[in-house]
Chains A and B, each alone.
Chain A
Amino acid sequence: MKKSALCFGILSLCFTLLSFALRPLPEEDKSIKNFKLKSTENKMVSLSDYKNAKGFIIVFTCNKCPMAKLYSERLNLMSLKFRTQGVYLLAVNSMDTVAYKEESFKLMQKKVLKEKTTFPYLQDKKQVVAKQFKAINTPQAFVIWKNKSGKWVQKYEGVIDDSALEPKKGNNYLEKAVDELLQNKPVSNPITESVGCRIFYRGVFDKMR
């Protein structure tokens, strides 16, 4: 009896030590915390609302940027394609509404009506979500995926595709990343360089690129 108790004790100690050893280093754990933002429907939307979600496509976009404007149709189609597979597209506007009157909530609502948007368009007025993702451009896309411990981990960041002016002609990096994740494959291009208008963070001096 004593022997088995000792074994058990040693085993549990081993397991504890092992779990500490296998615990991922903080830098590798690029997980995204749940956030809650207001949508153009005047509803609060958070990641936790989507109970069965496998992953999310978060696209930082805005009303004014010419590059961002080109992607409305492509994002509509992408949202429809993936939501039946448990992956939801959320658009986030983190532009400074004080500096840029075109980024007002009213004009966000107008845009959704005009473009028959098939996904929530959320306002990140305090730029908190943009800072969490470290978003720099509009448009810029991120894919977060639920890992085994139930955390949302970043799997892709960068462009939607590399042919803004010519849809279907270039590489659809974002769509490919989500397809690969749905097939339990690793993402072949997890990081691509985004292009578009800068997101200027209030109180942070930064030169135009």
Chain B
Amino acid sequence: MKSKKIFIISALFLLATNSSFSQTYTSLNIPEAYYGVTGTDGVTNFVLNMDENLKQYRTGQATVTGAVNIGTATTNTFWGPTMIINKDQAIKMHVTNNLNESSTIHWHGMHLPAIMDGGPHQIIAAGALWEPYWTVKNQAATLWYHPHLHTTTQAQVTKGVGGFIIVKDAAEAALALPRTYGIDDIPLAITSRRFLSTTNAMSATLSDNYGDYVMVNGTLSTTTNYAQATLPKQVVRMRILNGEIQRGYNLGFSDNRTFYVIGNDGGLLNAPVAVTRLAVQTGERFEILVNLSNDTVGSQTLYLKAYNSATELNALTPGSNAFGWPGNEGNASTPTGNSGPLNGGLLNNVDFNIMNIQIAAATTASTPITTIPTALISNTYWATTDVTNSRTITVGGGNGGTAFTLDGSLYSTTMTPKTVNLNAIEKWTIVNNNIFGHAFHLHDVFFKIISRSGGNIGTTIRTFEQGWKDSVWIPINGTVTFIAKFDDYSDSTWPYMYHCHALTHEDEGMMGQFTVNGTMATNENSVKTIFSLYPNPTTDKLFINLSDASTEIYYITITTLEGRVAMMLPKPQWQNGIDISSLSSGVYLLKLTDEKTKSVTTKKFIKN
């Protein structure tokens, strides 16, 4: 009888102590892989529909979110599909904006014509369809897409509109790297959000640009309920994106294990770089390998972590806890006395876990990678001797809460762009004698960082940022110099952007623009282009009959009679007819922009 009593008491004791240690997890969302549909013309088509949706993130009201492709097959409630494409592939996007306001989709990292870039100039009106296309010239890399409408980029990205693009090529395919998507090769869009207490809306204001709760691929990850990635006991590849509005991450693993950076924004490095800490700023992508071969199946002790406390940041770079390294603004209990965010975030100035990793058995369907390769690819980087032109860009503003500027100006879409000559190899020096650090991003091409100076980084070009980059961190009082070649595409009309990728700074005007000019002469004659449309009325295809056979069409915009933009077709391939089947019946205006003269001629047509 006594032994029975002891048994019951000890059982209850074990139960009590165990239940106080129960941690819950939510399975990490992996965005679906989207390969597109290839037509008989060899062009691979992608349909991206931007929409609002709802997600129950917290108790109470559902949170209004933004997502891409919320349709019936895939019901994305935050973020969008991962487009997987090959180098040299001809692709065409069909982007419909179903948000309740104008937007754009920028292909961040893509090398393409300015008119297809999706920056502030390619505004997609509510309800309109935009059909850019290009041939992929990028080498294998992890890119991403997101809205880029001036003054509302922060709001739209906060909602969740965005997604990954993975470019593959032969050089990458030849390497012994993990590449089974969702199994040993996972994308991680890491960000954070602050939820308003009354509506559970994700706040997108200046004082709320440091979120309180981590989100990975749209999965909320909190101390009581972490996002959990189940990864096999082998070498695993992570494609990391800092999708924050402003915060940087000092990444590592909870057990401080070494991991390997294999890729920067623009592609693979020449060889893996061993690190225990990786500084990632807004907009940057890093591909890493982490070896889980020695971990125990079933264990849940490993976390991907942000070592953002002052102690850790100081260990990384002495003096890092100076104001302006994102992550050091006041935490929730001690709002900063400086002119920083009014409400410090729960995640500010502390070390925090990003997501939990649960170890599963090694894969059998595909051969597991068990070692870190010693070499990757052969990149030929630019050197100072290649440079044909240099320029300096100076950061300004920010004092007393004023907006930050580039070269003393605030962005406007009508500002005169800088001009870069086609095929120029330019050296840009960004000087940041400023009260804040900035994440400088360049559209169109990648660059090689050739020197740093000043600030708390000094002259060290960190080991993990020596590949092709499109975004670079410049600390307070720091200067960065990089070299880029502006090749392949020229257009004296439409510019590319450069800007700080802290979205609050960008929306407030810390942005500039440049055109890449070729040797093409433009005819100043603005005579109307003579053409006719047939058949008219039409049901699905509209053909253009040009009076002058040498006419080149730069743009076609189709609007309703009231002026609502329905379709935006940059450099349309009009010879086989324009597909207007998606339009509802009615009368439309077709506005044709001539490539040479840039004059616009309008003709009416009826869609049955």
Contact = CB atoms under 8 A, between A and B. Distances in A.
Interface in B47-68: 51-54, 56, 60-62, 64
A209 B127 contact: no
A166 B57 CA distance: 12
A196 B199 CA distance: 9
A70 B54 CA distance: 10
A99 B125 contact: yes
Contact of B61 (A65, A162, A197, A208): A162
Contact of B52 (A98, A102, A192, A197): A197
Contact of B127 (A101, A159, A192, A207): A101
B151 interface: yes
B201 interface: yes
B42 interface: no
A151 interface: no
A208 B54 contact: no
A195 B201 contact: yes
Interface string B95-121: 000111100000000000000000000
Nearest to B566: A101
A195 B61 contact: yes
A30 to B, nearest CB: 21
A146 interface: no
B198 interface: yes
Given A67-B62, A98-B562, A164-B54, A208 B99 contact: yes
Contacts of B374: none
Contacts of A65: 52, 100
A193 interface: yes
Contacts of A100: 100, 126-127
B155 interface: yes
A36 interface: no
Given A102-B127, A200-B100, A170 B60 contact: yes
Contact of A165 (B52, B62, B126, B151): B62
Interface string B561-598: 01110000000000000000000100000000000000
Contacts of B156: 208
Contacts, number: 76
Contact of A197 (B62, B64, B155, B564): B64
A198 interface: yes
Interface string A156-167: 000100111110
- The CB with the most chain A CB atoms within 10 A, among B125, B127, B201, is that of B127
A86 to B, nearest CB: 31
Contacts of A9: none
Contacts of A196: 64
Interface residues of B, number: 31
A66 interface: yes
B492 interface: no
A83 interface: no
A162 B60 contact: yes
B201 A99 contact: no
Contacts of A194: 199
Interface residues on A, range: 20 to 34
B86 interface: no
Contacts of A164: 54, 61-62
B30 interface: no
Interface in B259-294: none
A98 B126 contact: no
A95 B204 CA distance: 24
B204 A209 contact: yes
A208 B56 contact: no
Interface in B172-217: 198-201, 204
Contacts of B53: 66
Nearest to A205: B151
Contacts of A38: none
A196 B62 CA distance: 10
A23 B125 CA distance: 49
B54 A207 contact: no
- The CB with the most chain A CB atoms within 10 A, among B54, B100, B159, B560, is that of B100
A170 B125 CA distance: 36
A67 B51 CA distance: 12
A163 B63 CA distance: 10
A207 to B, nearest CB: 6
Nearest to A198: B100
A98 to B, nearest CB: 5
Nearest to B507: A207
Given A66-B53, A207-B152, A209-B201, A163 B101 contact: no
A176 interface: no
B62 A99 contact: no
Interface string A180-209: 000000000000111111101000000111
B54 A66 contact: yes
Contacts of B101: 198, 200, 208
A189 to B, nearest CB: 12
B198 A193 contact: yes
Interface string B146-166: 000001100110010000000
A111 interface: no
A96 B563 CA distance: 13
Interface in B547-565: 560, 562-564
A67 B56 contact: no
A166 B56 contact: yes
Nearest to A197: B100
Given A100-B126, A164-B54, A208 B62 contact: no
A99 B98 CA distance: 11
A64 interface: yes
11 contacts: A65-B100, A66-B54, A98-B563, A98-B564, A99-B126, A165-B54, A165-B62, A195-B199, A197-B100, A208-B101, A208-B152
Interface of B: 51-54, 56, 60-62, 64, 98-101, 125-127, 151-152, 155-156, 159, 198-201, 204, 560, 562-564, 584
Given A197-B52, A207-B155, 15 more contacts: A64-B100, A67-B62, A98-B560, A99-B126, A100-B127, A164-B54, A164-B62, A192-B198, A195-B62, A195-B199, A195-B201, A196-B64, A200-B100, A207-B152, A209-B201
